[in-house]
């Protein structure tokens, strides 16, 4: 069915997978994703956030909540890119292994950035460097349970969610998320998938298109805890959801993932990132009634082989949003 291509390990027919199923850990994926997100995040939207924070909160401690924070790469980036000064940063994720990974990463990257670190116990850290004094709290929690708990009682100045909103039902979740903010508080929702997946070079254009369509449909049909959770076009639909929620959109921009190999191969751990994506597509579509399992397996093997020989280019269309909550103060 497919052209035979040689790669480092010879013909595709003898291509051996580099990773076993157990190697595909989510924490390594999130770590590998960091450099991809670094390139993708829309700098104009980022700069506007930075400007809003410095004009609205100059000199004041900012209370920040990040939801679906994974292993804490957005917090790392915020310090690397100098987003804010003094703050209380709570990073929340439902997966304990992510929070545990974040906990072990904090001292490493904070000391690389010349921060002094006080480990306050119970997943709390105080990070200090020149004018910055940041209290970090890492929490394993489901956001839906968190929103109903006492912990969410103090309203936040800034709500961050990176690569998260496309996993939930935005129309029903957004109003509850925004209600966590103080009136005038900011939301920064980034890397929201928007229905565009490109794998190049083509293998079999018809099959490529079919696989992508079925894969996107798995996002639209995802059910979590009995509720519809996900939208493969979260980006474009977000404008309407914000309008309905009464919040103000301050800026929006593309944040496409574009991953390709340069003369030295894929940067950082991005080959693993690509293998993980291809593996995820394969797992999501395994046993799909509208797909011949042998053709899918061959397609997946071929995509992995393209990564090994550095020819795979992967693009995912995504969007970033910055906005302001205009709601009323909570009592």
Q: Does 260 bind ligand SAM (CB under 6 A)?
A: no
Contacts of 195 (CB under 8 A, 6+ apart): 216, 232, 233, 235, 236, 317
Would you say 66 or 157 has its CB closer to ligand SAM? 66
Q: Does 84 bind ligand SAM (CB under 6 A)?
A: no
Place of tokens 């004018």: 131
Q: Is residue 189 classed as helix, strand or coil in its secondary structure? A: strand
Give the shortest CB-41-to-ligand SAM separation in angstroms.
Answer: 10
Give the tokens for residue 326.
């205009």
- Taking CB under 6 A as the binding criterion, the range among 86-94, 297-305, 308-316, 321-329 that sits at the site for ligand SAM is 86-94
What sections of the chain are H helices per DSSP? Answer: 26-40, 43-57, 73-80, 96-112, 143-148, 170-178, 205-220, 234-245, 270-285, 293-308
Contacts of 219 (CB under 8 A, 6+ apart): 166, 193, 230, 231, 232
Biggest CA-to-CA distance, the chain: 67
Q: Does 320 bind ligand SAM (CB under 6 A)?
A: no
Give exposure, 4-19, as e/b (b: 16+ Cβ within 10 Å).
eeebeeeebeebeeee
Q: Does 230 bind ligand SAM (CB under 6 A)?
A: no
Contacts of 199 (CB under 8 A, 6+ apart): 208, 212, 303, 312, 313, 314
How far, in Å, CA of 309 to CA of 324, rounded? 45
Q: Does 157 bind ligand SAM (CB under 6 A)?
A: no
Would you say 92 or 110 has its CB closer to ligand SAM? 92
Give the shortest CB-32-to-ligand SAM separation in angstroms.
Answer: 10
Would you say 56 or 151 has its CB closer to ligand SAM? 151
Q: Does 94 bind ligand SAM (CB under 6 A)?
A: yes
Question: Which of residues 42, 90, 98, 234 is near ligand SAM by CB under 6 A?
Answer: 98
- Taking CB under 6 A as the binding criterion, the range among 136-144, 150-158, 235-243, 323-331 that sits at the site for ligand SAM is 136-144
Question: Which of residues 142, 169, 256, 298 is near ligand SAM by CB under 6 A?
Answer: 142
Would you say 282 or 301 has its CB closer to ligand SAM? 282
Residues 8-37 that bind ligand SAM (CB under 6 A): 30, 33
Q: Does 68 bind ligand SAM (CB under 6 A)?
A: yes
Which residues contribute to the site for ligand SAM (CB under 6 A)? 30, 33, 67-70, 73-74, 92-95, 98, 142-144, 162-164, 167
């Amino acid at each position: 069915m497919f052209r035979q291509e040689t790669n480092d390990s010879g013909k595709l027919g003898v291509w051996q997978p580099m990773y076993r199923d157990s190697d595909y850990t989510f924490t390594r994926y999130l770590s590998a994703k960091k450099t991809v997100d670094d390139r993708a995040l829309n700098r104009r939207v980022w700069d506007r956030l930075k400007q809003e924070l410095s004009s609205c909160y100059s000199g004041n401690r900012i209370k920040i909540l990040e939801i679906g924070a994974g292993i804490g790469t957005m917090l790392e980036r915020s310090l690397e890119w100098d987003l804010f000064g003094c703050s209380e940063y709570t990073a929340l994720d439902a997966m304990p292994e992510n929070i545990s990974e974040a906990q072990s990463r904090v001292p490493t990257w904070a000391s690389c950035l010349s921060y002094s670190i006080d480990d306050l116990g119970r997943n709390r850290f105080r990070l200090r460097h020149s004018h910055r004094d940041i209290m970090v709290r890492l929490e394993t929690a489901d956001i839906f349970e968190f929103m109903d708990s006492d912990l969410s009682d103090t309203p936040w100045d800034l709500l961050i969610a990176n690569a998260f909103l496309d996993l939930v039902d935005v129309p029903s979740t957004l109003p509850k998320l925004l209600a966590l903010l103080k009136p005038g508080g900011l939301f920064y929702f980034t890397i929201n998938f928007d229905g565009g997946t490109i794998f190049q070079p083509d293998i079999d254009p018809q099959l490529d298109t079919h696989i992508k369509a079925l894969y996107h449909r798995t996002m639209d049909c995802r059910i979590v805890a009995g509720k519809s959770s996900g939208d493969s076009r979260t980006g474009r639909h977000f404008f309407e959801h914000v309008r309905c929620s009464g919040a103000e959109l301050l800026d929006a921009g593309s944040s496409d993932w574009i991953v390709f190999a340069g003369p030295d191969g894929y940067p950082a751990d991005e080959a693993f990132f690509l293998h993980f994506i291809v593996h995820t597509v394969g797992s999501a579509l395994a046993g799909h009634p509208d797909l011949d399992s042998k053709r899918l397996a061959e397609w997946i093997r071929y995509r992995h082989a393209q990564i090994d020989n550095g020819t795979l280019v992967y693009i995912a269309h995504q969007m970033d949003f910055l906005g302001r909550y205009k709601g009323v103060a909570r009592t």
